[in-house]
Amino acid sequence: MSSEPPSWAQLRAFNAVFKDGSISRAAHRLGLTQPAVTAQVRALERAHDVLLFERTGSGMRPTALARRLYAETDGLDTIADVAADILGASRALEIGDLSIAVGAPNPAMALIAEYHRRFPGVRITTSFGNWGEVTAALRERRCDVAIATEAPKDDDVVAVSFASQRVVAVVAPDHPLTRRPRPLSLAEIVGHAVIFRPPPSLTQQKLEAALSRAGLAVSPVVTLGTREALIEAVTQGIGVGFMFEQATNRREGLVRLAVAELADVHHEDVFCLAAYRRRRTVAALFDAAEEMGSNL
C-alpha cells in the first residue's frame, strides 16, 4: 500500500466520475480523454489497494468507501471553481453546468425559466423527488443546488425564499366536498376516503402534524409514492389528496380546497450547501430567486 497521498489529478478524476456516474461523462466534464480519466482512477485504487467503483453495464457504482472519500474531497472541486470564478469574475456567465434537485416542478420551473433566460449558455440538469429525496441529493452532493418547500434549518445550508403557498386538499370535480362551504375542516375531510404520501413527503409531514393537533386518526385508502400518482388517483375519484397549492399547474379534473387547519404559509426555497454558495452558477440562481421573492 502506498504511503504517498493522492494527487490532485487523481482526486479530480475520482470526483468527476463519482458525480457523473460514468467515465465518458466525467471525461467530458474535465476536458480529458476517457483513457486518461480511467488511468487516474485506477492509479488511485492501486496505490491504496482499494475498490472505489464497481464497474457495471450502466456505469460506475461508487462503493461505501468512495462515498466517504467524496464527502471529504468534493470541497477541492469547490475551491477550484471559486478560484476560477475569482480569476474570471469580469467575464459574463456564458457557459457552465448547474444540476438542480427539485421538489415540485411548479413553481420551481418559473425560477429555472428566469435563470435560463438570463444565462442561456449554462447547461441545466434537473432531478425530481419528494422533500426527503431532494435534501438527500443535496447532502450526498448529487446536485449543486435544490429547490423545494422549506429548506432544512441546518448551519451548513444557505437558502433564499422566492415564493409562498399553502397545503390544500384536492378532489375530483364531482366530489361531494366541492359543494361544502370553505375552508373545510379536517374532520369533514376524513369522513371520506383519503390518499396519503409516504412520510419523507413534506406535504405528508404537515398533514400528519395537523391531524395530530386535531386529535384525528386516519387510515388512508391508499398511499402513493409520487405526487403525479396522487393527482391521477384524485382525478380518477379514488379519494381526497393533499398537496401544496402550486405543486402543479393542472386545473382540469382537479379542484383545490382550502383547509382550516392547514392555513399556514410555507416558503418555496432555493438552497445549497454553504460551500457551494460562492460558485458563479449557483450564486446567479440565488440572485434570480432573491429578485423573484422580493415581495414576499
Q: What does the pLDDT look like over 122-165, one tens digit per residue?
A: 999 999 999 999 999 999 999 999 999 999 999 999 999 999 99
Rounded to 10°, the helix 280-292/105-118 angle is: 120
Residue range 13-50, pLDDT digits in tens: 999 999 999 999 999 988 899 999 999 999 999 999 99
Q: Where are the beta strands (DSSP E) in the chain?
A: 53-56, 59-62, 96-102, 122-128, 145-149, 157-165, 167-171, 195-196, 222-223, 241-244, 255-257, 266-273
Give the model's pLDDT for residue 98: 95
The more confident residue out of 90 and 290 is: 290
Indicate whether 214 pLDDT > 90: yes
Report the percent of the chain where pLDDT is more than 90. Answer: 75
What is the CATH architecture of 167-264? 3-Layer(aba) Sandwich (3.40)
Query: Which pLDDT score is estimated for 69?
Result: 92
- What local confidence, expressed as pLDDT, does residue 38 receive? 93
Which cell is 44 given? 488511485
Residue 90, pLDDT above cutoff 50? no
| Span 8-87 CATH architecture | Orthogonal Bundle (1.10)
Whether 239 shows a pLDDT value over 70: the answer reads yes
Are 138 and 270 within 8 A, CB to CB? no
Give dist(CA 146, CA 271) in Å, integer.
5
pLDDT at residue 237, rounded to an integer: 96
Distance, CA of 203 to CA of 222 (rounded, Å):
16
Contacts of 201 (CB under 8 A, 6+ apart): 130, 131, 132
The residues spanned by each domain of the chain are 8-87, 96-162+267-292, 167-264
Indicate if 96-162+267-292 has the same CATH topology as 8-87. Answer: no
pLDDT > 70? residue 1: no
CATH top class, domain 96-162+267-292:
alpha beta
